[in-house]
Every structure is written in C-alpha cells, then in structure tokens.
Amino acid sequence: MAGSGTRDRILAATAELYRRQGMSATGLKQISAMSGAPFGSIYHHFPGGKEAISAEVIRSEGVRYGNLVVAQLVLTDPATGIPELFQNAGRAMQAQDYSEACSIETIALEVASTNESLRQESATVFEHWLTVLAQWFGQLHISDEQCRRLALTTLTALEGAFVLCRTLRSVDPIIAAGHGVQAAVVAELGSERRSSA
C-alpha cells in the first residue's frame, strides 16, 4: 500500500511539473524533491525512467482531464453552451495566474517529432477526448461527420487558446475561441437543416 502511495505521489508531482514547465525542463531530481519520494524509488516504480513516468502521466492525466470535461459537458447544452464552457476554462487559468495548462498538450508539443512512443500515447488521449466530444455533439442530431468536425474544432480551439492565454496572460483568446466554436455549431446546424429541407 505504501508503495502505491509513493508511486501516486511521483505521478502527481510529475504531472504538476509538466503542466507548469513542460517535460524537457523537468528532471528526475526535481520530481523526487517535489513528490517527497527517494530518488531510487523512482526507478523502483518506473524502471524505464523518465519515459516510463511520462507515458503513465499522459495516460493518467488523460483520464483526469477527460473526467473534468465530461463533468462540464453533462451540464451544458451543445447548441448554446460552448462560450460558457470556454469562459469557465479561462477563469480557471486566470485563478492559477496562467501557470498551468493541459499537460497532454505540453507534452505533445515536445514529443510530436522526437519521441514516437510518447506521441502515440498523446494521440490516444486526444482521440479519446475527440470521441467524447463527438458523442456529446450527437445530441444535436447532426451527422457523424459533422459531430467529428465540431469535436476537432472544439479541441483545436481550446488547446490553441491555452497556449495564447498563457503567453498573453489574458483570457481574451479563450473567450474568442469559445465564440468561434459556437459559430461553427450554428453553421453546422444550419447546414443540417438546409440539407434535410
């Protein structure tokens, strides 16, 4: 049981460090210090070292963020509620002084061209999120293709807005992104009505 607690602390510390400063800037000694785990225990729990920890962080953070998103989606009308979803995400970033963002995005940017294994782990998480979003948009009674397109638009806008918000220290990008996605929803709904008329 204690071993499991140490492992969880290592993962939690690594995820927080990745959200704040990225994977490349995070060293195993820093993970050890932040988690309160002896340095040797990192290799005990993750014999593959930093890459093994990173893969597990991608998977666990994918689940954690996915659960947060689903909790928001079930309370939101996909036809009208997207701007509020994006505003809520912006307020959360602002409350953290723009110091944290999506750790999956941060890792994906670093490994997309340099580490195929971690790129695939990141892609798996993003694909799961896209599936969840597409299913949510299915409430609009539009085609599967339209649902997938709106899911891609939503996730692209959100992840891009995170980067701009952190860089500009402003919620304006995420608010604008929310309105842009809402406009895409309206356009898809209009297209569906025209094609069924």
Query: Residue 41 domain-assigned?
Result: no
Query: Residue 29 domain-assigned?
Result: no
pLDDT category at 127 given cuts 50, 70, 90 is very high
Whether the CB-CB separation of 138 and 47 falls below 8 Å is answered with: no
Query: Residue 20 domain-assigned?
Result: no
| Helix ranges, the chain (H) | 2-21, 28-35, 39-45, 49-73, 82-95, 103-111, 116-137, 144-168, 172-196
- Provide the percentage of residues in the chain whose pLDDT is more than 90: 80
Query: Residue 109 domain-assigned?
Result: yes
Q: What is the sign of the dihedral through the CA atoms of 143, 146, 152 and 154? A: negative
pLDDT category at 2 given cuts 50, 70, 90 is very low
Question: Is the per-residue pLDDT at 3 higher than 60?
Answer: no
Q: What is the sign of the dihedral through the CA atoms of 3, 6, 10 and 16? A: positive
Question: Is the per-residue pLDDT at 131 higher than 50?
Answer: yes
- Show the domain range for 176: 55-196
Query: Residue 127 domain-assigned?
Result: yes
- Which segment, 60-64, 68-72, 128-132, is predicted with the most confidence on average? 128-132
Whether the CB-CB separation of 128 and 182 falls below 8 Å is answered with: no
Q: How far apart are CA 82 and CA 77, in angstroms?
A: 8
Question: Is the per-residue pLDDT at 196 higher than 60?
Answer: yes
Q: How far apart are CA 31 and CA 174, in angstroms?
A: 31
- The widest CA-to-CA distance across the chain, in whole angstroms, is 67
The confidence score (pLDDT) of residue 194 equals: 64
Q: How many domains does the chain have?
A: 1
pLDDT in tens, 135-172: 999 999 999 999 999 999 999 999 999 999 999 999 99
Question: Is the per-residue pLDDT at 195 higher than 80?
Answer: no
Question: Is the per-residue pLDDT at 28 higher than 50?
Answer: yes
CATH number reported for the structural domain that contains residue 122 in this entry:
1.10.357.10
Q: What is the sign of the dihedral through the CA atoms of 23, 28, 31 and 35? A: positive
Query: Residue 19 domain-assigned?
Result: no
The confidence score (pLDDT) of residue 56 equals: 95
Query: Residue 24 domain-assigned?
Result: no
The confidence score (pLDDT) of residue 175 equals: 97
Q: Which amino acid is at 188?
A: E
**Full-model pTM:** 0.88
Query: Residue 32 domain-assigned?
Result: no
pLDDT category at 94 given cuts 50, 70, 90 is very high
Overall residue count recorded for the chain in this entry: 197
